[in-house]
Structure 1
């Protein structure tokens, strides 16, 4: 049993006696139980959370991730690491078993150090945005064979994969300038289908160009289709804000471009949108959008979840810092979950159902995309903690810019010790290998409040609600 105390039990009792009450619930003798009503204070603090925010590159190829690399990323606030797999040496041959084994070791390094990976596979990586026309990729047959070889890696390590960028085709794996015709309509569709088969249904695959997604899915499905894993395609824009067309991401025709941008914006509620800024030098007359107003408006419009923190900083990041919006950009990118209010019965019998009503606010630009669990934690007077899986809500439904009213339910175990229990809320990763790792839990954007007994527990990966339950 894990025994953690974030505030004294006497403080909890004081909180209980001063908590507002109204009718509802059931007491130990079957009589109505008083209801605790709680409120929470949001914070503007920067809070690193899984699968969102600025990312940095891995120091080495995906097949060679190191302990020091992953540890450094986590320590410096990165929760996504861009991990490129270079297959230049295998354009005409199978991936050797030794390399596949190293991929498993790299995933283990990420898992051991609290980060997740943004994965892309490429057959080349030109040194500049104007030096790519002669980049070489593989044949369609070899590409499909490589995807099939990588399927076990994707399936076995979905827990530490945030998102997959489609890769493989052309320079940088960005789905243009293929030396083997992979960017044709027929070939890219085959590669898309192979990738969606290889990557687990719990993870999204992102593609470089919105027009390709528009051709595959002219009418976007409902959110329900995305939640059920029936739609898993998103966009990564690797020239975000760089020019009127984002250097060819969108059409040069204004009417067509507006349609493509509207599609990409609508897609942002279904699938993750991310990428990087880039050098506009490859487009004559480019006018990059570098103001704070630009990143704030378009970050919200496209539901930006992540962005490269290391590329082309002088034109974009430096301006955001100089003009005072970088802190807001960091807070807004991806989801940002705040507890607003809560209520629950103050006493129940063992075996009763505990209903915890919550209002949560997502003040970020995007929603949570990957599956996420919810737990109610009960901590008794000795500091012993019992975790209860809570039903009644799916955090992926907490849409950006909106409040969600939910009721979480959990049955009190028959062997739960009687007496007072402090209540905590946790949003752990549901994957078996990560569920008990507090580093992978989502921390709500709420301020600690000692007077209320509200505080984040880094050890438990849970937020103390500042209230308690009498178990009889």
Structure 2
């Protein structure tokens, strides 16, 4: 946004009043004027849905449970039509439909999805790519497991990943991209064909896995990436993780659970810089929020403990949307969804006069379990008595730096050039780059009270 130039010779005094009625501040230059009092901001319940967190469904129009994202899979052959040819219409249609509902998307491409037709591009099959039929997971021969170390396939994946990054890195419709491509469902395993005694190992070699990891890391700089399993080969890469058996094989124990692998890889603190997410294990979705919890079989079955240890931000949980929860189970599921990710609350604000402007400080704390995933522009605006925004300032504040349990004090100098004399209300927001996207809302009583999508900080008079 282009702001009017500051008139360095204007004599503008800003008197800030963060109360119901105006009151004069001490004279400029006094100790009280340069170090004004902090004014508390009233807390409130966190919103039921906030961007890029909580439970999400498979893509579709649902009103049964609050949400901000939608999930989908796509076969690689839906977009890769030749060695260097791509038709992005299938992906565009999904992204546009989800964005039209005000949501961001999370997605994964696959080559092999049990029970669905193969996602391997036809030109690779025509070139003689080795594939293996199987009946596991109810596949009954519909899909095939490709030779992931075939040189033609490896080169095709390189070209696809590079093209995907060029086109979609930083796209505001996209919240997260999971690496996918390798293994059943793109989940980076071919169990039970994994080389255990008496079985062949169908999965990609270590070198093949590293090639895909590095290709994604090189192709994406802005959009958040996720890979299924933590490991030494991805520890230093700019990508998070997705636990697709959440609350089933999450907590440490037998050595192969998600948190076991996190500890072995030395990535237990990586949630601070890279998002952790996943899928609530399908067998648990319909029972884990019952009272009493009545899920049969084995598994962790500890939702709260899994959230606390993983610092998960969002989970695919389609049961919440269809068939949906009712009664007490709905309330527990909603509380579970709201326990994921960030929960931002502004606790206090203060302002001080400066030549031709205002010094603003806001104290914010994150009451959630993870930081926000992106540095969306954090903006302050002055709202006139007519309810319209008269001027907006974009700060240098970083949402990703707001760590759980670590209160932050954020400061900004706001030049007053372009504002007329009169009374204004200061408001704050983190601007969702998706046009029509769900606003990020603070857990404050002043959220949405002056302008929808903005947090009210207090009143200012320009004289």
CA 1:375–1:18 in 2, change beyond 3 Å: closer, same or farther? Answer: same
Q: 1:42 — aligned with what?
A: 43
In 2, the alpha carbon distance for the partners of 1:25 and 1:397 equals 33
Answering whether residue 239 of structure 2 is matched by residue 233 of structure 1, we say yes
- Paired with 2:29 and 2:93, the residues of 1 have a C-alpha distance of 52
Partner residue in 1 for 2:369: 365
Q: Any gaps of 5 or more consecutive residues in structure 1? A: 1-11, 59-68, 221-230, 448-453
1:409 aligns with 2:427: no
Counterparts of 1:113 and 1:319 in 2: how far apart (Å)? 24
Determine the structure 1 residue equivalent to 2:256: 251
* 2:291 pairs with 1:287: no
Q: Determine if the alignment matches structure 1 residue 173 to structure 2 residue 162.
A: no
Instruction: Give, in whole Å, the separation in 2 of the partners of 1:312 and 1:123.
Output: 28
Note the 1:29-428 alignment, pairs <5 A: 32=33, 35=36, 37-58=38-59, 69=60, 72-73=61-62, 76-88=65-77, 93-94=82-83, 97=86, 99-127=87-115, 130-131=137-138, 135-137=144-146, 139-155=153-169, 158-177=171-190, 183-199=204-220, 201-211=221-231, 214-217=232-235, 231-243=237-249, 251=256, 257=260, 260=263, 263-278=266-281, 287-290=298-301, 294-310=302-318, 322=329, 325-345=332-352, 351-352=356-357, 354-413=358-417, 415-428=418-431
Bigger relative contact order, structure 1 or 2 (CA pairs below 8 A, ≥6 apart): 2
- Are residues 273 and 140 of structure 1, via their aligned partners in 2, closer, same or farther at CA, if it must alter by over 3 Å? same
Question: Structure 1 residues 334-343 or 437-446, which shifts more?
Answer: 437-446
Q: Once the 2 structures are TM-superposed, how far is the Cα of residue 197 of structure 1 from its aligned partner?
A: 2.3
What is the Cα deviation at residue 426 of structure 1?
Answer: 1.2
Quote the Cα distance in structure 1 between the aligned partners of 2:268 and 2:100: 35
Work out whether residues 365 and 402 of structure 2, in 8 Å CA contact, stay in contact via their aligned partners in 1: yes
Aligned partners of 1:196, 1:101: CA distance in 2, in Å? Answer: 24
SS at match of 1:339: strand
Structure 2 vs 1, CA of residues 412 and 26 (structure 1 numbering), >3 Å: closer, same or farther?
farther
Residue 442 of structure 2 aligns to a residue in which SS? coil
Partner SS state of residue 238, structure 1: strand
Deviation at residue 120 of structure 1 after TM alignment: 0.6
**Cα contact 1:367–1:396 (8 A) shared by 2:** yes
Q: Does the Cα contact within 8 Å between 2:251 and 2:306 map onto a contact in 1?
A: no
In structure 2, do the counterparts of structure 1 residues 392 and 205 end up closer, same or farther at CA, with 3 Å as the change threshold?
closer
For this pair of structures, how many residues does the alignment match?
Answer: 402
Q: Distance in 1 between matches of 2:247 and 2:100?
A: 35
Residues 247 and 176 (structure 1), Cα distance of their counterparts in 2 relative to 1, 3 Å cut = farther
SS class of match (2:245): coil
Gaps of 5+ in 2: 1-15, 117-135, 194-200, 285-295
Higher helix share: 1
| Contact preservation (8 Å) 1:441, 1:461 | yes
Whether the aligned pair in 1 keeps the contact of 2:79 and 2:90 (CA below 8 Å) is no
Q: Residues of 1 paired with 2:305 and 2:407: CA distance?
A: 20
Q: 1:321 to 1:161 in 2, by over 3 A?
A: farther
SS at match of 2:112: coil
Shift of 1:378: 0.4
Is 1:342–1:357's contact at 8 Å kept on the other side of the alignment? yes
2-side partners of 1:239 and 1:24: how far apart? Answer: 62
CA distance in 1, matches of 2:326, 2:17: 50
Label 1:25 to 1:143 Cα distance change in 2 as closer, same or farther (>3 A).
farther
RMSD of Structure 2 on Structure 1 (CA): 4.0
Give 1:392 deviation, angstroms: 4.7
Taking the aligned partners of 1:324 and 1:384, their CA distance within structure 2 comes to 37
- State the shift of 1:80 in Å: 1.0
Query: How do 1:429-444 and structure 2 match up within 5 A?
Result: 429=432, 431=433, 434=434, 437=435, 439-444=437-442
Structure 1 residues 36 and 245 mapped into 2: Cα distance closer, same or farther (>3 Å)? closer
